[in-house]
Structure 1
Amino acid sequence: MLRSILTAAVILTVAAVSTAQPLDESGSGRMQVTGEEGVVGDLPLEHTAVVIDVSGNLQRATVRQVYGNPYDQVIEAVYTFPLPQSGAVDRMNMWIGDRLIEGKIHERQLARQIYDDAIAAGQTASLLEQERPNIFTQSVGNILPGDSIVIEISYVAPVEYDDGEYEIVFPMVVGPRFLPPGEHIMNVFGIYQIATSVEDADRITPPVVPEGTRAGYDIELQLNLNTGVAIQDYESVNHEVDMRVGLNGILTIELENAEEIPNRDFVFRYTTASDRIQSGVIAHNGAMGGHFMLILQPDADISVDEITPKEMFFVVDCSGSMSGQPMEVAKETVRQFVAGMNPDDTFQIMRFSETASSMSRTPLPNTPENVRQGIAYINTMSGMGGTMMIEGVRAAIGYPEDPERMRFVIFLTDGYIGNEAEILGELQSTLGENTRLFSIGVGSSTNRYLIEGLAEEGRGHAYYVGLNEDPEEAVGDIYNKINDPYLVGIGIDWGDLQVHDVYPSRIPDLYAGEPLVIVGQYDGSGTDRVRITGTVAGRRWSQEMDVALPADQEANDVVATLWARKRIHELNRQMYDSYGYVNASQDIIDEITDTALDYQIMSEYTAFVAVSEEVRTDPDSGEPITVQVPVNMPEGVSYEGVFGESGGRGGAMNRSSYAASPSVSQSLGFGGAGLVSGEECNEPSLDYYDGDGWETSWLPSVTHVSASPTLGLLPSVVRSAAREMAEELEEAYGAFVEGLDNADDWPTGTVTFEVTVNGSGAITSVSVSGQGLDDGLDGELCDILTGLDLPAPPDGAGIIRLQYSFQKTW
């Protein structure tokens, strides 16, 4: 569906406004900068309220976004925002006044179709899509002037724990993403065109309010801690908080400022009276079968007489987004690392932006003279240019290993890139057995999906240093982990318990203070003594614990949700590639989609949609004007570092593409790679000729897209049966197009089939709903689908709508 697009910072006027503002028919509009604080007002997003309830090692969060319409025309609001990368989003509802419309999860393409159809019909609708595990897009369409619409999103997540300290994080803003140049040409919010390797660049780069201003919406947050034991100490890293204890012993933490600017992560750390995480098993056995979460603090303390010499590589992101305060924090962190090395260590210091460079040709011994040389090299660092992180990874990981030493790479970055899969794929495929990577996120609102992923693929650990934190604690913690023996080669003997589909599938190394956290499925029930084994400091280690898996346990249903979230993460990791997702397997995508639909959680291939039954605007009055909600620049991030001085030289934007606010981007020269002129944006020609060239060979392709409703059957059951029919449908489609003289005459598109199913699961009729391909071909395809093999639907007889995509490929 094509709509006029208003980026909510196109025209700025300095004036106070208290009445609704008109939008002109071209889609350009007015918004206001008011007051001494430079508040950008008249935005459809008005307020966000967050409540996080923590019980033991699990958290449940509810996020309420309030949308309005300050204009005199019907609008659609589009907001790009972050959520924790480890969370499983399992609910999205919409409130129009006091009316609740429950969101339903579908395949992403189907959810988008339902949303678009509802908007065209004059209904108010909302759509929640996932771009990355930590980036989401909320669309709310047909918001009437004066409306107040609340979108309620909920997720569950584990509480992070390391070495006696728990941490709760709620991200508040999506930072500007660097987009390496490549072959995908697209419009970014209708403001400029880029050529990038990131296929969904326009989905992860919301516009940023102009320098010196802030968005008019705000955020409030409440954290309720039910830890079961007394809290000894706590720290709120980026925000001032108020704290109170209820009669029930629950500790409530709230932001001191109830109208906080969402420009930095909420990070709350605390310790309890117990210096160890509570070990045990949490189990759930319900409609989806048995699921469990095992938590164990290994008792693997082994003292060693000598600390093994190491090869230390310190790698610093020196791109434009790191300039200013983040760069000063990173430099101080590396200075402390260099000062804290052991006498027999060797070290290398590297930096990267558009290219990578190093302090010396080879790692240097830890001598006073070499340390002075290293400190001098660190002091020269500054942030400028783009973030070609692949260069930094290859420089550190690709350098020949010293067979006599373990290499530890300390990688410092804000993570502001859009090609995460490429970086993680490179690390996954090239990490040597004698190399470990520890990542450090620097700044107020880092890309934790990437930073956690670097540590996961690097078999290390992730740390974070805020703008106002002394890095001493992080430096000390990392040295404690790499100096002490750590547990490797971990295996679990489940005895007679029927355990399967355990994640992580490859248990990572465990460093000092880290717990073992495993999720899995089980059949039946039982009790047994589980044996965990591994190696620490070259010695065999084992520990046992009693595990009871119940036959019936309706409580703890979030365990099943978290298992599904972990499974999706593991499947996504199988698609990491050093060129991004180009090797994405349709089989893996189907597995992810099946899991997400069965467990009703979001993924990159599923989405929530909510539609009001009421027609609230005249469908013939035209489409709503789309208003893209701008975001704040993360605290401490330099506009000049990202966009260049007054849009001039020196910013990362000049080498490729960070998303700029329109007021900034219009003044940029964009002379570097990644930006193209309009006439260069034609689709590449696929016309190849006989003779010196070759002739295009087109092939028919049929892919199952969606299935809804499923009549009480698990979505994976219906989708699997539908996929089984794709090959036969493709044969019929291929036979039809073979009889056509010109490939341009091939009928293509997505076709919806209505499949009537009786109470026993037999197919009684099939018909095409809406646009088909060809009357004769449609009839043949319907006949094929009568062979769909389904079990008896629990909800009884009904109609299942199946969608297939018919395309030509070459």
Structure 2
Amino acid sequence: MHHTHTSELALDSTQDQRLNDLDGRKSGNPGRPPATIPLWLCRIVLILILQIPGSPSIALAEQAPGSGSLILHTPQGNLESVMLDASIELQVQGLLADMSLTQTFRNTTGQWVEGRYLFPLPPDAAVRGISMRVGERVIRGVIQTRADAQSTYDSARSAGHIASLVEQQRPNLFTMRVANIPPGEHVSVQLDVMLPVTVVEQQMQLRLPTTLTPRYTNQATPDTPDLASPFALPAEARGPRLDVSVSISPLPDPASLSSVTVPFQRSENGLQIHGMLMNRDLVLTWQAPLENSTNIHAFTARHAGERYVQLLVNPPARTSPGKRMVRELVIVVDKSGSMAGVSMKAAIEALNFAIDGLTAHDYLNLVAFDDRHFSLFADARQATDAVKQQARRFANHLTADGGTEMGSALDFALRRNLPALTDSGMPPHDETADRLRQVVFMTDGSVGYEDQLLAEIRHNLGESRLFTVGIGPAPNSWFLQKAAEAGRGVSVSIIDEHDVARGITELLAGLIQPVLTDIAIQYPQGVGEIYPRPLPDLYAGRPGSWVARLSRDVSEIIITGKHDGKRWREQLSLPADDAESTSALSNSAPALAMHWTRRKIDSLMDEQRYAADDSLNKQAITRLALEVGLITPYTSLVAREQHPRRPGNQPLATHRVTNLIPEGNRMLTVGMPRGATGVDMLIRLSLLLSVVGLLLLTLSRVGLHQGACTGSRAR
């Protein structure tokens, strides 16, 4: 197992010498020959002992085994009691997209049922409306506080009314509940969603998740039952299917529209997909209609008496290569059970690709984790050929198992081991201070305690920068993006082992350092409120997408920052007529206003996430969400039919919709549940006890042999 390999790397020369000294060591009892214990047996015992929490080891964390569990429920009975089909109609206009998501719940039983479905959405989605179709009738939903919406739904459910409720469990995870679906019939629920479009390297991109990787939870996870969902492989259940229709404007080059995750049929201004298995993210890219000579693209609009501007800011190119800094690269890789299959293969390939890209001037360390963390070295070492060979051996022996306890691994990677003060009371010279310290975090992000991890990243970051690599066909994109934001870095994604070169090359070559830092906005006349807040550093090829609400007298915006160590300044004059635009990437005024409100709510949530008071901005968020009709942690959408359908004497059964396990994931094919609490510990303990028993048996035989020899000599 890879654990054995890792612990061998953790043994220092002194420990190894002690093992060698065991061979031929004389007993303290004179007159008796030494009891020779096979050296290989001693090594195995020591290595297994080092795997037990609390054992001394340079690279193995001293911590209790993970006290968490994987939210991986096996449904009882029929996997398809409630079947789900979905359809997406996507209208992309400039930098925003309107998505109509329809979920159809089909009751295949002879009972009245309630369907429950845990489903993902893009991390920056704005869910702003709901309607429910029952036969020919369409029922419009309303936004309410979470408690009021729950009460409305529960009363309708109990009284036999067909009703639906949508709640946010995480920023990218939602639950849909549909009550009182008649036997053999179906109910359709349509969600109105707005999405921002990402721009990277002159490419527009949309990533639409269709399933999720089962979440690992521990004591820090809030609302654990809300993350529960049954999962199945396509061979075990039909699973949800998806139809997609996409229209993009402007699309100057239709041939540039592509997808690396699913085949599609081209249409006049977009594409069509029919019957897609919902077991992977749908990733769409197309050429951005941008002028390379323009640094800032802007669009202004007026809505409900307010004025808004959307900005797309291209960072300037580096004017000089500058002095090459020595890089200290610490790669943290997830080897928990949810990574089994294609994700683990991609992670190992990514590790090898990154190792090969280092020079002898760089420094390297690797950290792997499941229930606990394992490091290659106690501190980063110079990337000599020998060190790189050790790193490759470490990487290639990784296997996916155990829980997903990320905290200790991130803490180990982010901390700096500085020596104590000198005799003069002054801190010693830190030789690592001249290094460019990068922590690369490779994971599928499949955890339920994201907020705790984000707070720890921000607290422990220091002078490092944290970059995240989302691994697999359905990663937790929201957590990966937020972790990179907290770490003052960026996030990239790798779908499988064939996608490694693109992602790692972009990360280690183009994203070494930001090209624009200390960014600020000034308004010579008037005032503005811009988001995100604070404005993040910009990296090469990754424009900043910002949105602001302005007073009427703002006629120009000045953006300042630091570029190549010098002050950088750009001035933008806004059109006098808000119907005009300086970019082809324009959007409707209501959409732009909604986008600004969504970004403000996100900013308030971020402020609250890192504050001591976990309800610091609850009232402000609730007020904003109710004003515009957005789902948040504190507001939900609910719809109910006016007249009851289910007879009072008929019971109501609840069935969860089965999600498909992400494509290529092997966590369901193993005999023991991956990520279950204590699985790794039980395996190690059983191996240890077996070896100890073998050792005792060997010693007893040696003792009998020695006794026989002594008796023979006495005679």
Q: For the superposition of Structure 1 and Structure 2, which TM-score range results when normalised by the shorter chain?
A: 0.7 to 0.9
Corresponding position of 2:456? 426
Which of 573, 583, 587 lines up with 2:606 in the alignment?
573
Corresponding position of 1:532? 559
Corresponding position of 2:56? none
Measure how far apart 1:478 and its partner are.
1.3
Corresponding position of 1:87? 125
Structure number with higher strand proportion: 1
Q: Evaluate the alpha carbon distance shift between residue 671 and residue 62 of structure 1 in structure 2; reply closer, same or farther with a 3 A threshold.
A: farther
Matched, 1:556 2:578: no
Matched, 1:266 2:266: no
Matched, 1:253 2:271: yes
Q: Evaluate the alpha carbon distance shift between residue 110 and residue 550 of structure 1 in structure 2; reply closer, same or farther with a 3 A threshold.
A: farther
Q: Distance in 2 between matches of 1:302 and 1:278?
A: 15
Does the CA-based 8 Å contact 2:243-2:276 persist in structure 1? yes
Secondary structure of 1:559 counterpart: helix
Secondary structure of 1:428 counterpart: helix
Does the CA-based 8 Å contact 1:131-1:204 persist in structure 2? yes
Where relative contact order (Cα < 8 A, 6+ residues apart) is larger, the structure is 2
Does the CA-based 8 Å contact 2:438-2:465 persist in structure 1? yes
Aligned pairs for 1:673-688 within 5 A: none
Q: Deviations over 1:749-777 (max 9, x none)?
A: xxxxxxxxxxxxxxxxxxxxxxxxxxxxx
Q: Distance in 2 between matches of 1:418 and 1:142?
A: 30
Secondary structure of 1:594 counterpart: helix
Measure how far apart 1:381 and its partner are.
1.2
Number of aligned positions between the proteins:
592
Q: Give the letter aligned to residue 416 of structure 2.
A: Y
Q: Distance in 1 between matches of 2:239 and 2:328?
A: 49
Measure how far apart 1:305 and its partner are.
4.0
5+ residue gaps, structure 1, are 1-6, 12-30, 32-39, 183-196, 658-668, 673-810
Corresponding position of 1:452? 481
Q: Give the letter aligned to residue 260 of structure 2.
A: V
Matched, 1:304 2:321: yes
Q: Distance in 2 between matches of 1:637 and 1:363?
A: 32
Corresponding position of 1:363? 380
Corresponding position of 1:407? 437
Q: Distance in 1 between matches of 2:74 and 2:678?
A: 26
Aligned pairs for 1:710-729 within 5 A: none
Q: Deviations over 1:277-307 (max 9, x none)?
A: 8843233322263333222213343222432
Does the CA-based 8 Å contact 1:111-1:607 persist in structure 2? yes
Q: Deviations over 1:141-177 (max 9, x none)?
A: 1111233211001211110111212211110012110
Corresponding position of 2:59? none
Q: Distance in 2 between matches of 1:602 and 1:304?
A: 46
Q: Distance in 2 between matches of 1:347 and 1:670?
A: 31
Corresponding position of 1:761? none
Measure how far apart 1:617 and its partner are.
2.2
Q: Evaluate the alpha carbon distance shift between residue 120 and residue 670 of structure 1 in structure 2; reply closer, same or farther with a 3 A threshold.
A: farther
Measure how far apart 1:623 and its partner are.
4.8
Measure how far apart 1:514 and its partner are.
1.5
TM-score (norm 1): 0.69
Which of 358, 373, 382 lines up with 1:341 in the alignment?
358
Q: Evaluate the alpha carbon distance shift between residue 118 and residue 560 of structure 1 in structure 2; reply closer, same or farther with a 3 A threshold.
A: same
Q: Evaluate the alpha carbon distance shift between residue 275 and residue 440 of structure 1 in structure 2; reply closer, same or farther with a 3 A threshold.
A: farther
Measure how far apart 1:8 and its partner are.
8.8
Q: Evaluate the alpha carbon distance shift between residue 44 and residue 563 of structure 1 in structure 2; reply closer, same or farther with a 3 A threshold.
A: same
TM-score (norm 2): 0.78
Q: Distance in 2 between matches of 1:119 and 1:551?
A: 47
Q: Evaluate the alpha carbon distance shift between residue 388 and residue 116 of structure 1 in structure 2; reply closer, same or farther with a 3 A threshold.
A: same
Instruction: Answer with 270-279 or 205-214: which moved more.
Output: 270-279
Q: Evaluate the alpha carbon distance shift between residue 94 and residue 549 of structure 1 in structure 2; reply closer, same or farther with a 3 A threshold.
A: farther
Measure how far apart 1:412 and its partner are.
0.3
Secondary structure of 2:482 counterpart: helix
Corresponding position of 2:632? 603
Corresponding position of 1:639? 667
Q: Evaluate the alpha carbon distance shift between residue 232 and residue 212 of structure 1 in structure 2; reply closer, same or farther with a 3 A threshold.
A: closer
Q: Distance in 1 between matches of 2:576 and 2:229?
A: 46
Does the CA-based 8 Å contact 1:525-1:550 persist in structure 2? no
Corresponding position of 1:503? 531
Q: Deviations over 1:570-594 (max 9, x none)?
A: 12222335xxx9x444341111111
Q: Distance in 2 between matches of 1:395 and 1:154?
A: 43
Q: Give the letter aligned to residue 677 of structure 2.
A: N
Matched, 1:398 2:441: no
Matched, 1:214 2:237: yes
Corresponding position of 1:435? 464
Instruction: Answer with 597-606 or 518-527: which moved more.
Output: 518-527
Matched, 1:318 2:335: yes
Q: Deviations over 1:57-115 (max 9, x none)?
A: 11111111111222222111111101111110111110111211001000010001011
Q: Distance in 1 between matches of 2:326 and 2:572?
A: 35
Does the CA-based 8 Å contact 1:291-1:522 persist in structure 2? yes
Structure number with higher helix proportion: 2
Corresponding position of 2:389? 372
Matched, 1:225 2:248: yes
Q: Distance in 2 between matches of 1:281 and 1:546?
A: 9
Secondary structure of 2:433 counterpart: coil
Secondary structure of 1:489 counterpart: strand
Measure how far apart 1:545 and its partner are.
1.5
Matched, 1:205 2:206: no
Q: Evaluate the alpha carbon distance shift between residue 385 and residue 488 of structure 1 in structure 2; reply closer, same or farther with a 3 A threshold.
A: same
Secondary structure of 1:639 counterpart: coil
Measure how far apart 1:273 and its partner are.
6.2
Q: Give the letter aligned to residue 666 of structure 2.
A: S
Matched, 1:151 2:189: yes
Does the CA-based 8 Å contact 1:175-1:446 persist in structure 2? yes
Which of 471, 482, 487 lines up with 2:511 in the alignment?
482
Which of 22, 30, 53 lines up with 2:91 in the alignment?
53
Does the CA-based 8 Å contact 1:9-1:209 persist in structure 2? no
When the two chains are superposed, the root-mean-square deviation of aligned CA atoms in Å is 2.6
Structure with max Cα Rg: 2
Q: Distance in 1 between matches of 2:129 and 2:458?
A: 32
Does the CA-based 8 Å contact 2:342-2:497 persist in structure 1? no
Q: Distance in 1 between matches of 2:124 and 2:247?
A: 19
Secondary structure of 1:575 counterpart: helix
Corresponding position of 1:630? 658
Does the CA-based 8 Å contact 2:328-2:435 persist in structure 1? yes
Q: Distance in 1 between matches of 2:492 and 2:96?
A: 21
Q: Evaluate the alpha carbon distance shift between residue 123 and residue 525 of structure 1 in structure 2; reply closer, same or farther with a 3 A threshold.
A: farther
Determine what percentage of the aligned residue pairs are the same residue: 25
Matched, 1:10 2:76: yes
Corresponding position of 1:416? 446
Secondary structure of 1:51 counterpart: strand
Q: Distance in 1 between matches of 2:212 and 2:315?
A: 36
Matched, 1:69 2:107: yes
Q: Evaluate the alpha carbon distance shift between residue 214 and residue 306 of structure 1 in structure 2; reply closer, same or farther with a 3 A threshold.
A: farther
Corresponding position of 1:588? 617
Q: Distance in 1 between matches of 2:182 and 2:305?
A: 41
Q: Evaluate the alpha carbon distance shift between residue 80 and residue 278 of structure 1 in structure 2; reply closer, same or farther with a 3 A threshold.
A: farther
Q: Evaluate the alpha carbon distance shift between residue 556 and residue 589 of structure 1 in structure 2; reply closer, same or farther with a 3 A threshold.
A: same
Does the CA-based 8 Å contact 2:117-2:176 persist in structure 1? yes
Q: Give the letter aligned to residue 291 of structure 1.
A: Y
Q: Give the letter aligned to residue 431 of structure 1.
A: L
Q: Evaluate the alpha carbon distance shift between residue 222 and residue 546 of structure 1 in structure 2; reply closer, same or farther with a 3 A threshold.
A: same
Measure how far apart 1:333 and its partner are.
0.7
Which of 615, 638, 652 lines up with 2:644 in the alignment?
615
Measure how far apart 1:552 and its partner are.
9.0
Q: Deviations over 1:358-380 (max 9, x none)?
A: 11122111222221121111111
Q: Evaluate the alpha carbon distance shift between residue 612 and residue 670 of structure 1 in structure 2; reply closer, same or farther with a 3 A threshold.
A: farther
Does the CA-based 8 Å contact 1:410-1:440 persist in structure 2? yes
Q: Evaluate the alpha carbon distance shift between residue 536 and residue 243 of structure 1 in structure 2; reply closer, same or farther with a 3 A threshold.
A: same
Does the CA-based 8 Å contact 2:345-2:497 persist in structure 1? no
Q: Distance in 1 between matches of 2:201 and 2:208?
A: 21
Q: Evaluate the alpha carbon distance shift between residue 278 and residue 51 of structure 1 in structure 2; reply closer, same or farther with a 3 A threshold.
A: farther
Q: Give the letter aligned to residue 258 of structure 2.
A: E
Q: Distance in 1 between matches of 2:291 and 2:457?
A: 34
Q: Evaluate the alpha carbon distance shift between residue 647 and residue 304 of structure 1 in structure 2; reply closer, same or farther with a 3 A threshold.
A: closer
